[in-house]
Structures are given as C-alpha cells and as structure tokens.
Amino acid sequence: MGSPMLALENIHAGYGRFEVLHGVDLRVPPGKTVALLGANGAGKTTLLKAAAGLVPTTAGQITLDGVRVERIPPQKRARRGLMLIPEGRGIFRDLTVRENLAMFAGRRSVSEAIERAVAAFPVLDGRLGQRAGSLSGGQQQMVAVSRALIADARVILADELSVGLAPVVVDEIFEAVNVLRAEGRSLVIVEQYVDRVLDVADYVYVLHKGRVALVGEPEQCRRDAVFDQYIGAATHS
C-alpha cells in the first residue's frame, strides 16, 4: 500500500474495563479510500473514535503522516488534519446552516465555505438561515459532510454517512465523497451499503469481534466467500 497517511498498529481500546478492539492494524495510504466493514458490534465506530482520540487506546500506536499521535488530544489531531464525521450528523443543531458552515470554514472565508457546500448540495442554498436541527435528516447529513468539503482535513473518518437516508440523498452524499477523493483526501468509510462503498474504496478491512478478519481490494472481496461470511449477502444494497 505504500507509506501510510494514517496508520494504526496493534490497537487495543474500549470503554472502561470492556475491551472492544483486540490488536487492530489499519493503514490508510495518501489519497486512498478504505472501506471499514463488519457486523454491528464489530468495533468499527470504536476504531474511528480511537483514531480521532475520542476513545483512549490501552496499547498500540497511531501515526498521522509519520508522527505518533495516540497521546495527543482530539483537537490537536484535528489541527494536524484528521477529521471525524460521526454517526448521527455531528452538527450544531441550534445554529443556522450558515453558522455551521462558518464554524467549519477554518482558513477559508465564510462566503467561500458556503459556496463549496452549496455547489455540492444545492438544496442548502435555500436553508442557510434555517436552524440546522430543523432540517430533514438528509439535509443535516449534507451539512455534516460539508465539514469535510470545507475544511483542510487530509484524513477523513466517516461513520455511517448514509444511515436512514433516502436513496436519492445517498447518491448526493457519495457524489461528495467522490469530490473528496478527487481532491486527494484520504478516507476511512464505515458504511451499511456495502456495494456503494466498494465502488469508491481502494482497500477493504473487515472487522469481526474487534479483530481484523480480512483485508483486500474491492474486487477480491466481491468474489471472496469469506467476505460474504462476515458481511452477509443481505447487507449488499
């Protein structure tokens, strides 16, 4: 895979005395997209949160662009270019859409941030003055994904971008993912629609009970009986 932009090695993490991850390795090369798949409870969200610094690791190391970061807090990891888009939107519900986009703007001007968000999601143009929490679920997710489009983050961890969304909105979300890929961002995507994420992924990791069960490229996985055993044909949508 080459030199990784983000590397997690022998990661052990969990909640209190309950360990969820039991020695996980994951590598994300520069400009590549990794699909992180597995059944509910496999540890996918915990792994993303551990990478972002929201769940402490008890063993192992995390490197971002060659620098170890497992001992530094989440905000410093974010300043180094690591962004988590959590499941459940991760927006400021009491602020307007415009205010949310302004919060995400970073080094960009607010007008430029809004322009980028609206280019990806035109429906937001008519919602800029609306409180974000009053938007539909799909529109809230558009605001959340706009964070990645606007920010200078080089590694984006995306947790269940399409959960609960109508198919037409899922299409728009994945168009935005393709914009991020075209810009050379590195992505780790946890996604319920397996075939959709295999279409955009360069590499696939499958977690099973807190351990890596399978690593491969999308076409290998589509033909792999072991992949179906862990993921299940029912999740292909």
* Confidence (pTM): 0.92
Look at domain 1-81+155-161+186-237 and name its CATH class.
Answer: alpha beta
Return the pLDDT at 100. Answer: 94
pLDDT tens digits along 195-223: 999 999 999 999 999 999 999 999 999 88
Return the pLDDT at 223. Answer: 87
Measured CA to CA, the distance from residue 152 to residue 132 in angstroms comes to 22
Q: List the domain boundaries for the chain.
A: 1-81+155-161+186-237
Write out the E strands in 41-144: 57-64, 67-68, 82-85
How many Cβ atoms from other residues are within 10 Å of residue 90's Cβ?
A: 16
Instruction: Say whether pLDDT at 2 is over 70.
Output: no
pLDDT tens digits along 20-50: 999 999 999 999 999 999 999 999 999 999 9
Return the pLDDT at 108. Answer: 87
